[in-house]
Amino acid sequence: MSMPSNTATMARTLSFVMGLTPLDRLQINDKTAISNCQFSKRMGETAAEQPFWFFQRIRQDGMLEVRTPTGYCDYIAIEDICDIIPGEPIIVQAMTTAAFIERNKPQHQRQAPSESDYAPAYLLYVHKDRWGRIDSAAVDFIDPQLNIGKTTFSPITQADRERLEKTINRTMLPIIDPTRNASLMSADKGIKKTTALNESIAKAFIQSALAKRHSVTSSLSDAALKDLSQRKINQIMGGKA
pLDDT-based confidence at residue 39 (cuts at 50, 70, 90):
low
Q: Look at residues 164, 171, 160, 90 and name the one whose alpha carbon lies nearest to residue 128.
A: 164
Sign of CA dihedral 15, 54, 152, 96: positive
pLDDT-based confidence at residue 119 (cuts at 50, 70, 90):
very high
The alpha carbon torsion through 170, 50, 55, 229 (nearest 10 deg) reads -70
Q: Is the pLDDT of residue 232 over 60?
A: no
Q: Exposure string (b/e) for 183-204, b if CB count within 10 Å is 16 or more?
A: bbbbbbeebeeeeeeeebbeeb
pLDDT-based confidence at residue 32 (cuts at 50, 70, 90):
confident
Q: What is the pTM of this model?
A: 0.72
Nearest-angstrom CA–CA distance, 213 and 147: 55
Within the chain, residue ranges assigned H as helices are 5-18, 31-37, 97-103, 158-167, 191-210, 214-224, 230-237
Average pLDDT over residues 63-75: 92
Angle 192-171-143 from CA coordinates, rounded to 5°: 120
A 10 A CB-CB count for 121 gives: 27
pLDDT-based confidence at residue 67 (cuts at 50, 70, 90):
very high
